[in-house]
């Protein structure tokens, strides 16, 4: 991937938001490299992108399989002046940004699963891992994004959950550099909006894409389990769960479709 071609595709807003671009053929993890850069004192906003990862990481300690050129693997580092509790909805904003970027490139039928999975027909197309880092009295968020572009049949068989790729859902998937530029442009645009007005301006967008809204779901968080009907998210990005005891706000855990209907 050529950095100059990428920069030519970025909007002026994105150019202002990104100080440095680092492109690797192979790396352990773009998120891990971004965190190392922060800890070593390189605190300018940056993008790290790789053709492959040997130790890609997903949410809840899972591995993100990252064969060479089979997907886009990127991390955007950005400094925030907002308090840490105001950053909780950023993962939802990131997921919305991924869907909007892919729609611009011709994808259709995408949906979201709280808090940040991008799905097509309930199969995972893209994953997001956000990590907060403190350095020199500043807060940095590393936005890790992985989008499947073209997965081999063997790789699809080796993953223990339903997944898909752009090659399966689009007639002509975009090149990696065009996809990367679209993701960065949309994410930078939405982050600027989030810093100005919070999540309230994204609430309706999320709820329109939420594949489990108004369906019975199960929330698993560690050893705890909670069943209820998803009512979508509120203006802070919390999941609203209708339970026999009333509406509960959910701020952590993993969503699964429930096999047990909610008792009236």
The DSSP-derived string for 177-220 is: HHHHHHHHHHHHHHHHHHHHH-GGGTHHHHHHHBTTTTSEEEEE
**To the nearest whole percent, how much of the chain has pLDDT over 70?**
94
Average pLDDT over residues 72-93: 89
Q: Quick one: how far is CA 28 from the chain centroid?
A: 19
Q: Which residue has the tokens 């399966």?
A: 168
- Judge whether 194 and 90 are in contact, CB under 8 Å: yes
- Angstrom distance (rounded) from CA 67 to CA 96: 25
- Angstrom distance (rounded) from CA 65 to CA 260: 32
Average pLDDT over residues 136-147: 90
Per-residue confidence (pLDDT) for residue 75, from 0 to 100: 96
Per-residue confidence (pLDDT) for residue 136, from 0 to 100: 75
pLDDT class of 61 with cuts at 50, 70, 90: low
Q: Which residue has the tokens 């591995």?
A: 63
pLDDT class of 55 with cuts at 50, 70, 90: confident
Per-residue confidence (pLDDT) for residue 74, from 0 to 100: 95
pTM for the complete prediction?
0.92
Per-residue confidence (pLDDT) for residue 264, from 0 to 100: 40
H or E segment and range at residue 31: helix 30-39
pLDDT class of 60 with cuts at 50, 70, 90: low
- Angstrom distance (rounded) from CA 217 to CA 241: 9
Domains and CATH numbers, the chain: 3-208 (3.30.930.10), 212-257 (2.30.30.100)
H or E segment and range at residue 123: strand 123-135
| pLDDT exceeds cutoff 70 at 240 | yes
| pLDDT exceeds cutoff 80 at 13 | yes
pLDDT class of 260 with cuts at 50, 70, 90: low
Per-residue confidence (pLDDT) for residue 262, from 0 to 100: 45
Q: Which of 197, 250, 201 is nearest to 226 (CA)?
A: 250
Average pLDDT over residues 118-143: 91
For residue 77, what are its two tokens?
């580092």
| pLDDT exceeds cutoff 80 at 62 | no
3-class secondary-structure state, position 84: helix
For residue 183, what are its two tokens?
């993701």
Q: Please, what is the average pLDDT of the chain?
A: 90
Which residues make beta-bridge pairs with 45?
none
């Amino acid at each position: 991937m050529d950095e100059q071609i990428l920069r030519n595709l970025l909007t002026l807003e994105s150019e202002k938001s990104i100080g440095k671009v680092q492109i690797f053929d192979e790396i352990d993890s773009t998120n891990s490299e971004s965190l190392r850069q922060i800890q070593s004192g390189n605190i300018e906003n940056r993008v790290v992108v790789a053709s492959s990862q040997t130790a890609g990481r997903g949410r809840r300690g899972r591995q993100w399989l990252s064969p060479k050129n089979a997907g886009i693997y990127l991390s955007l580092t950005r400094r925030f002046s907002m308090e840490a509790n105001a950053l909780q909805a950023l993962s939802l904003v990131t997921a919305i940004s991924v869907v909007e970027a892919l729609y611009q490139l011709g994808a259709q039928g995408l949906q979201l699963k709280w808090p940040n999975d991008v799905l097509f027909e309930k199969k995972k197309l893209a994953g997001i891992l956000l990590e907060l880092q403190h350095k020199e009295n500043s807060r940095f968020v590393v936005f890790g994004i992985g989008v499947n572009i073209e997965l081999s049949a063997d790789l699809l068989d080796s993953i223990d959950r339903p997944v898909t790729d752009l090659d399966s859902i689009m007639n002509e998937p975009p090149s990696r550099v065009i996809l990367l530029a679209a993701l960065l442009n949309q994410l930078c645009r939405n982050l600027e909006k989030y810093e100005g007005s919070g999540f309230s301006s994204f609430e309706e967008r999320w709820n329109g894409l939420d594949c489990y809204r108004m369906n019975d779901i199960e929330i698993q968080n560690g050893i705890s389990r909670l069943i209820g009907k998803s009512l979508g998210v509120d203006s802070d990005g919390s999941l609203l769960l209708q339970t026999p005891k009333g509406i509960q706000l959910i701020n952590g855990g993993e969503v699964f479709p429930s096999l047990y209907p909610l008792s009236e």
